[in-house]
Every structure is written in structure tokens, then in C-alpha cells.
Structure 1
Amino acid sequence: MVEKQRGVTIWLTGLSGAGKTTICQFLNTELRSQGYQIEVLDGDVVRQNLSKGLTFSKEDRDENIRRIGFVAQLLTRNNIIVLVSVISPYRAIREEVKERIGDFIEVYVNAPLEVCEQRDVKGLYKKARAGEIKNFTGIDDLYEIPLEPDVECKTNQESIAQSSNRILSKLKELGYTNSILLPEVESCSRI
């Protein structure tokens, strides 16, 4: 275990299928192996357990993000590294949560819409395009790109290890970890 750990929320935002959860899982495994205390707040899991009953209206999406932000704030102030993987499409609510938490690193997981649609294992984009799902981010609801993210991961151009190293480097640069960067291995696939 790490001697003295500082809490921080690493907030991964981006379209569905951009690679947020994949990077989050990778970072979770890597940071835990280095002795850090980690908690993961995945958007899909939180929605099933903490935000059940909320719709996908703008008001309910904002409320969902506030709830996730509240839990992340509690964990962060107790010196846990919190990995949040959630679309969080609206800039204003991301800024609100960032301000509340303080120790916060915004990661824009960037992949073009067409790439996200190709990766869509759940078939959500197809359903949204067919009109079966309303208010789907990127199709009939907007995604506001972060203006100045702390880290940007271009998941259609880099491997999981490269994206994760960007985040690990930022954590180290800001003094949250002494994490070891991952080797650039040819076998590390793209997201």
C-alpha cells in the first residue's frame, strides 16, 4: 500500500463507445497493482443503483451527474483515487462538479462518432438512429466537448496503454501518484 495517498477524481467524459470504461478498467488494474486505493464509478452501474428512475432528460442527466459527483467528492476527500466513467454530455454540470470536488482531472476520451458507432456492441446507436431511443447523446442530443480538458485521449489513434499513460503522467505531474508509466507494447490494442 502507498504510504500517503492524496484523493483525486479522474473524470472520463466522452461519447458512448469512445473508450471511457476500457481506459477506466485498465487504470483501475494498474493503479491497484501499484498499491493505490481506487474506487470506480461507472455511469451504467451508478444509473442502475443510485439513479434508478431518472430519465434521459437534461434535468435528470444533470441530477445523475450531481449524484455521481457527490459520491466522488466524499471518496476524494477521504484520499481515494476515484475513476469516473460517464458520458456527462453537458459542460456546465461538469464544471459544477469539478468546482465542488476540487481535486479533479477532466479526461476527454475523444473518438469520432462514426468510430463510436462501429464499436457499439450494445446496438444503442443503431436503435437511436432508428428512433427507438430518444435523446441519445451524439445522435439527437448534443455532447458539449470539454474546452480545456486536463487530458485528451484520442482512442481511435492510440492504444489503451498510450491513453492510460497520458492520465498516469498527469497524476504524477500533479503530485497525486508516483505511478510508473506502462511500457509501449506493440500488442496493446486500440480501444
Structure 2
Amino acid sequence: MTEHIHPIFDRLLQRSDRERRLGQRSKVLWLTGLSGSGKSTIAQHLERYLYNNGFFAQVLDGDNIRSGINNNLSFSPEDRQENIRRIAEIARLYLDSGIITLNSFISPTVEIREMARQIIGPEDFLEIYINAPLEVCESRDVKGLYEKARAGQIKGFTGIDAPYEPPLHPALEIKTDEQSLEESVEAVFQFLKPHIELPKA
């Protein structure tokens, strides 16, 4: 069927046009880590922090993706991969729109994150490892997911009976058991700022 698709990208506004209008360079931050490590909380606070500093960002995380566009997917290995593939495609659309995208997903394997990197483009994909020990993540488990996983009520739960592969060479590592939320958000912002500022005219 793809032979009947004729992209018109060359006739559309370009990413650079949109970036100039928004006054920023678009990038994709990919926050990865165990459930409870602090990914979503950091992403939510960073989105507001960026807004308050004149940048425009959009958060994508499990709650707003799996309740909508990916609500037909399970947590099988195949569906997890498809979940991340679709997210990466959405993030690429935001990237082309000039928007900074903050992606907060466990994305547990090196392979699955590499797939996302290739879809988005290595030059625009910034992998952030939100690192916290398993016991700390369990202590923050307000949804009781770890308890259910340890009781066998949830199968294939990352960190319990499914593996998590930490990034080999993350662009940035944040250890949320060693610093406050405010310090974590500030660290990510300071790392990100040079990547998203337009060059001075």
C-alpha cells in the first residue's frame, strides 16, 4: 500500500520555520527508569519550568498515551515495542512542529530505546536516565504496583519479573534518591537549555 502514499513534506512549513516562530530549537528528551524513579514527576515539573522560562514543551507519558492512542495495547513484549514505536513517531511529529517533547516511559531495554532513537533521529534524541534503587522506587509506590507484582497479581512487571536494562551512555543521569525534585528539574533544565536555545542573531 505504501506505493500509493505521496508525502508532501517539501511543500509544508519546515521545522526551522516553526522553531523561529516559537523561539526555540525542538528536541526530544527520553526519560527512562524504573516505575517510581521519578520520570513523570520530573517531566511534569520540567514542562512548567520550561514554560515559565519562555519555552514550549509537551509531556508524553504512559497515562496520556495508554489511555488514548495506545489503549489497544497490552504489556506483552511485542505490544511494549509497538507502544514505544508509536510514541517515537508522535514525538517526531512534535519535533518537526518545533516543540520540545518530554517523553516519560520505562522503555526497559536498550534495544527498544535504540528503536526510538532511530525513529526520532540520533541528533535530536536526548536520553535521560532517571535512576533510583529498586527499594526506593518500591517505597514510593502509591499505586501499589510493586506489591501486586511481588504477589504475582501483575506479570512481567519491570524490575520484579521482567528486566530493566539501564542506558549504557545516557546524555544525563539523575539520581533521584540523592537530590530533591527541585534539584533534579534544575539539573535537567540546565543540561537541556543549550540544546533548545536558538543561536543569537
**TM-score scaled by length of structure 1:** 0.88
Taking the TM superposition and a 5 Å limit, the aligned residue runs for 1:39-50 are: 39-50=58-69
CA–CA separation in structure 2 for the residues paired with 1:29 and 1:136 = 30
Shift of 1:4: 2.3
Note if 1:160 corresponds to 2:181: yes
Match of 2:158 among 125, 137, 140: 137
Assess, with a 3 A threshold, how the Cα gap between structure 1 residues 44 and 3 changes in structure 2: closer, same or farther. closer
Higher Rg? 2
Identity %: 52
Deviating runs (4+, > 2 A) in structure 1?
Answer: 1-4
Contact 1:2 1:36 in 2 (8 A): no
Note if 1:177 corresponds to 2:164: no
Cα deviation digits, residues 142-187 of structure 1 (max 9, x gap): 11110000010100001112211221122123x3138xxxxxxxxx
Contact 1:43 1:84 in 2 (8 A): no
The CA RMSD measured in Å over matched residues stands at: 1.6
Structure 1 unaligned spans of 5+: 179-191
Match of 2:96 among 46, 71, 77: 77
CA–CA separation in structure 2 for the residues paired with 1:84 and 1:130 = 30
Contact 1:51 1:64 in 2 (8 A): yes
**Which is richer in helix?**
2
Structure 2 unaligned spans of 5+: 1-19
Counterpart of 1:33 in structure 2 is 52
Contact 2:22 2:98 in 1 (8 A): no
> For residue 25 of structure 1, what is the amino acid of its counterpart?
Q
> In structure 2, the residue corresponding to 1:49 is in which secondary structure?
coil
Taking the TM superposition and a 5 Å limit, the aligned residue runs for 1:61-76 are: 61-76=80-95
Cα deviation digits, residues 90-141 of structure 1 (max 9, x gap): 1112111112212111110000000000000000000000000000000000
**TM-score scaled by length of structure 2:** 0.84
Shift of 1:41: 0.4
CA–CA separation in structure 2 for the residues paired with 1:52 and 1:118 = 28
Q: How many residues align?
A: 177
Contact 2:22 2:56 in 1 (8 A): no
CA–CA separation in structure 1 for the residues paired with 2:62 and 2:129 = 15
Counterpart of 2:167 in structure 1 is 146
> For residue 59 of structure 1, what is the amino acid of its counterpart?
E
